[in-house]
Structure 1
Amino acid sequence: MISYIFLQHYWWIIISLLASLLVFLMFVQGGQSMIFSLPKNNLHKTMIVNAMGRKWEFTFTTLVTFGGAFFASFPLFYSTSFGGAYWVWIAILFSFIIQAIAYEYRSKPANLLGQKTFDIFLFLNGSLGPFLIGVAVATFFTGAQFSLNELNQVKWATPWHGLEALLNGRNLSLGLAVLFLARTNGLLYLINSVDDRVLAERSGSKLLMNSVVFLVFFLFFVVTLLVSKGFAFDQVTGTVTIEKFKYLYNLLQMPQVLIIFLAGVTGVLYGLGITIFKGSRKGIWYTGLGTVLAVFALFLTAGFNNTAFYPSSYDLNSSLTISNASSSHFTLKTMMYVSLIVPFVIGYIWYAWKSISNKRITEDEMKTEGHIY
């Protein structure tokens, strides 16, 4: 018989993998955040929008899948976070809704709002989406201000309902790190997918600044995380306590997770290095894989080794763990069998990705192609 503990850990791994893929795929948002600053002319802007437009549905679908899987496997987190910190989640969802609208109507003839309005929509999604997701994920480590009663009904301790997370410097640092990682990956993707010397040179010139800003905020978050107190969960008593250097101990006590994290960081740095110093077009593949590995390891650090993955800084014992927030044994087991088709889905996504990206975007294509965003 498959144990309940195994299923809880299995589904946290699935959630962590989906989250890491989402962070990588937000290179689409990163590219959108630069549609006013990067292009030299309107044709270049159209090339950027269409380069990102070819992949925006992958990001959107992964976001929906991540949310659905989180809801099904850990419903108490979903009800607690969405029921309490709803302003942050509403802002995130709104930014992705206007993205979908923008790609659908940006180039439609005689649209009522005008193309520039939809460009602003893309810019807002590109800037706010990654930043707010980063801030929300940071609360997995810094805590949120909520309490749960015996019926698991959530009560938020502030009238800001999630927006108070923006007042925490560590939350802001991860939000900005995710934003500038998305911008960095967006630039690397453009260098790889657009066949235009001027646009590639402009992307390369912005790559160094964006990558340095990302590294500064990322290193600040990681260092403060490793030296900070964490939220430890006692499996026997069910109590949550504050423990010094909890996340550092998690990495040391789970060396395989530490190896994954270091491999991810190395991949990101290597991809940046070969692009900045050698002019390679292939940097996106190394930084992409590195992004997935590093984020995956951070999520494992947040939820494994008897750690509260959604701690309450207001009421410690209301904190959520993979043990007390998960669905029933039957639900997790049934979903596990369904999840066995995931490799086939990933294979199809890879095939679709390669089919869409079989040639680089050119100026001539933007002038003659029947369907452009």
Structure 2
Amino acid sequence: MEISFDLTVAWALLLAFAVYVYVVLDGFDLGIGILYPAFPRKEDRDLMMNTVAPVWDGNETWLVLGGGGLFAAFPLAYAIIMPALYPPIIAMLLALVFRGVAFEFRWRAGNRFSEKFWDWAFIGGSTVAAMAQGIALGALLQGIEVDGRAYGGGWWDWLTPFTLTCGLAVVFGYGLLGACWLNWRTEGYVRKHSRNIARILGFVTVGFIGIVSLWTPFLEAAYFERWYSWPQMLQVAPVPILVVLFILFLGKELYNESNDWMPFVLTLGLFLLCFIGLGVCMWPYVIPTSVTMYDAASPFKSQLFMFVGAIILVPIILGYTAFAYYVFRGKIKPGEGYH
């Protein structure tokens, strides 16, 4: 029983890791699409797209790992979550497909009208995908109605003020990631304008973090007890304290012109702390507060068989991802690219 317990926890942590890696890797290239309207010149948009051209499609590997891993390791959770979140998940997948097509077709546009069309497809796909991800996260956090071993709610249960707020928070957060990435990887006007945008989006993102953080404990009594009851609040206090520290450091670095990479790293850290806060709320539930990860887990032999493959493949994926980023490191100048 102890081995099975450990394996279930290991799968939960592995899936959480996959989702976080997806958020930070695909987040900044979705952010670039979200920021496109702020850069109307073709040369600037070409430069922005070239910063992610070698790596953007590999980033989505982690989304496949997260979804496939949920289906394999926690099939009951998958069977309940998918019907509850069909609209935002379908919207996200269609947006990612449309965005991917736009990414490739934009380079082969034969005229200005066609290029504008694919630019807006890239903007729309990036924004809708980010919004849908935030809505899905908010819907999971606010709770899904469960009837026995199936989804017991309605088609529109995912659509609430809280989920829309979470969706906007993710859109602005991804925009901040994209701006910090461009500040790190570009020069000249794009770098300068990106840093100015990052300062604005930093304030907006912090505001949304505050709103969602204050709102979440009132969604479920278990959340409130975990964050505000004594002495449990002492155990979770380091998370909000570190969030405040990271916000202060990020604000300082966004006005420090000598360090281009630090704002991006601090933003990743801020996202990690928010992710940990989400884990504090949900643990040990995979569907708060109805289904625990133990209730939803697949049989031990199934988890073991898949986990052996995962511990072999995940380091390989991390290795080739790190190698790709290493090969295409450094700043990209206007007129340069990999397409």
Scaled by the length of structure 2, the TM-score of the pair is 0.88
What corresponds to 1:177 in structure 2? 169
For the 8 Å contact 1:264–1:291, the answer to whether it is kept is yes
Offset, 1:9: 1.4
Pick closer, same or farther for the CA change 1:4–1:281 going to 2, 3 Å: same
Residue ranges of structure 1 left out of the alignment (5+ in a row): 231-241, 313-318
For the 8 Å contact 2:239–2:277, the answer to whether it is kept is no
Structure 2 counterpart of 1:208, one-letter code: R
Offset, 1:35: 1.0
Deviations 1:233-270 (CA, angstroms, capped at 9, x unpaired)? xxxxxxxxx54613416996497765466546644542
Report the RMSD for the aligned CA atoms in angstroms: 2.8
Distance 2:102 2:133 in 1: 20
What corresponds to 1:10 in structure 2? 10
Q: SS at the partner of 1:327?
A: coil
Question: Which deviates more from structure 2 when the two are superposed, residues 323-332 or residues 334-343?
Answer: 334-343
Alignment of 1:69-148 (within 5 A): 69-108=69-108, 110=110, 114-144=114-144, 146-148=145-147
Distance 1:52 1:128 in 2: 19
Q: SS at the partner of 1:139?
A: helix
Distance 1:244 1:301 in 2: 8
For the 8 Å contact 1:19–1:296, the answer to whether it is kept is no
What corresponds to 2:273 in structure 1? 294
Scaled by the length of structure 1, the TM-score of the pair is 0.81
Structure 1 counterpart of 2:119, one-letter code: D
Q: Tell whether 2:230 aligns with 1:245.
A: no
Distance 1:186 1:176 in 2: 15
Pick the aligned partner of 1:189 from 178, 181, 206.
181
Question: Which deviates more from structure 2 when the two are superposed, residues 47-56 or residues 6-15?
Answer: 47-56
Q: Tell whether 2:286 aligns with 1:309.
A: yes
Distance 2:295 2:179 in 1: 41
Pick the aligned partner of 1:281 from 245, 248, 260.
260
Question: Which deviates more from structure 2 when the two are superposed, residues 256-265 or residues 96-105?
Answer: 256-265
Structure 2 counterpart of 1:325, one-letter code: A
Pick the aligned partner of 2:158 from 154, 165, 175.
165
Q: SS at the partner of 1:309?
A: strand
For the 8 Å contact 1:136–1:165, the answer to whether it is kept is yes
Offset, 1:93: 0.6
Pick closer, same or farther for the CA change 1:273–1:343 going to 2, 3 Å: farther
Question: Which deviates more from structure 2 when the two are superposed, residues 83-92 or residues 105-114?
Answer: 105-114
Deviations 1:308-348 (CA, angstroms, capped at 9, x unpaired)? 33237xxxxxx222111111111222222223222343122
Distance 1:27 1:250 in 2: 36
Distance 1:325 1:60 in 2: 25
Distance 2:118 2:325 in 1: 25
Q: Tell whether 2:249 aligns with 1:270.
A: yes
Structure whose residues are more often helix by fraction: 2
Structure 1 vs Structure 2: percent identity of aligned residues? Answer: 21
Question: Which deviates more from structure 2 when the two are superposed, residues 266-275 or residues 133-142?
Answer: 266-275
Deviations 1:83-134 (CA, angstroms, capped at 9, x unpaired)? 2321111101111111111122211254998222221121112212122211
Alignment of 1:61-72 (within 5 A): 61-72=61-72
Pick closer, same or farther for the CA change 1:82–1:41 going to 2, 3 Å: same
